[in-house]
Amino acid sequence: MAPRARSRPRRLHHEPEAVTWAREKAGLTKRALAQAVGVSEQLVGEIESGWRNATPANLARIAQTLNCPVVFLERKRDR
């Protein structure tokens, strides 16, 4: 059986660049953010690169850890 091709989610619930910017502004590594939030370092990397969606719960914990409003990290919706 051939391995399944990996694809990015069609719609992200967060802005990957905003998560990276806020993490760097807070002076945290991906590993430190992952430990504080309670997820894997790999998941943080995938969230920041846009390969995985951040769940609402994880996004809220990330925002709390980075001391920023969750709305800053959320994807802006097109009208």
Grade residue 6 by pLDDT with cuts at 50, 70 and 90: low
CA distances for 56 relative to 1, 2, 70, angstroms: 34, 33, 9
Q: How far apart are CA 36 and CA 2, in angstroms?
A: 37
Nearest residue to 15 via CA among 58, 57, 53: 53
pLDDT at 13 over 60: yes
Mean pLDDT of the chain: 90
Domains recognised in the chain with CATH numbers? 18-69 (1.10.260.40)
| Predicted structure pTM score | 0.83
